């Protein structure tokens, strides 16, 4: 068989695998309750735009006929073909759970905890309020950074982090 690009591709014989379109691999079929809930979600209430957009895509995929392509569904809803594809894949991977599909993904890993705790803040402010070392008229952020390294109870902090902590507590280095 020859296509517009000038290459010829053989048709699969009976023993070969046939490539199945992703629409057939990831079909979206909604129950009546799910469809009603999604329609209600798109018409009323206060929800994020991305949640409403994903709900509209699911509704459009459910109502799409056999001949509707992802491009036509995406054009009808106002999203790209890839967005339609990713939403249908997520729907299939979640086992047909509509709410898991339209809501935000949960983080796989928790955020990195801040090294600045209440105790660290207190020790840092106490250091900034103390007299500067000999040879210096006042504390600077870089000087505080060097002294924080020497103190055992305080983790090593960058001068910008020290500045943020002091600014948060309205401490001015004079």
- The confidence score (pLDDT) of residue 6 equals 42
Instruction: Give me the residue spans of the domains in the chain.
Output: 22-102, 118-168
54-92: burial string, b at 16+ Cβ within 10 Å, e else: bbbbbbbbbebeeeeebeebbeebebeeebbbebbebbe
Task: Give the single-character DSSP code of 153.
Answer: S
**How far apart are alpha carbons 98 and 39 in whole angstroms?**
12
**How far apart are alpha carbons 61 and 22 in whole angstroms?**
13
Give the pLDDT confidence of 127-142 residue by residue, as tens digits. Answer: 999 999 999 999 999 9
Give the pLDDT confidence of 64-80 residue by residue, as tens digits. Answer: 666 678 888 889 889 99
Give this prediction's pTM. Answer: 0.54
Residue 32 exposed, middle or buried by CB count within 10 Å (0-12, 13-18, 19+) = exposed
């Amino acid at each position: 068989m020859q296509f517009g690009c000038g290459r010829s591709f053989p048709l699969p014989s009976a023993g070969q695998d046939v490539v199945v379109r992703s629409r057939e691999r990831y079909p979206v079929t909604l129950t009546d309750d799910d469809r009603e809930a999604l329609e209600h979600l798109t018409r009323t209430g206060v929800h994020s735009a991305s949640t409403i957009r994903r709900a509209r895509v699911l509704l459009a995929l459910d109502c799409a006929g056999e001949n509707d392509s992802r491009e036509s569904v995406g054009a009808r809803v106002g999203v790209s073909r890839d967005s339609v594809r990713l939403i249908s894949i997520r729907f299939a991977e979640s086992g047909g759970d509509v709410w898991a599909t339209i809501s935000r993904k949960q983080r796989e890993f928790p955020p990195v905890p801040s090294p600045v705790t209440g105790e660290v803040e207190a020790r840092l402010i106490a250091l900034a309020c103390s007299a500067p070392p000999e040879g210096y008229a006042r504390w600077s952020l870089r000087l505080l950074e060097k002294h924080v390294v020497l103190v055992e109870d305080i983790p090593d902090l960058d001068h910008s982090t020290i500045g943020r902590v002091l600014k948060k507590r309205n401490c001015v280095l004079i």
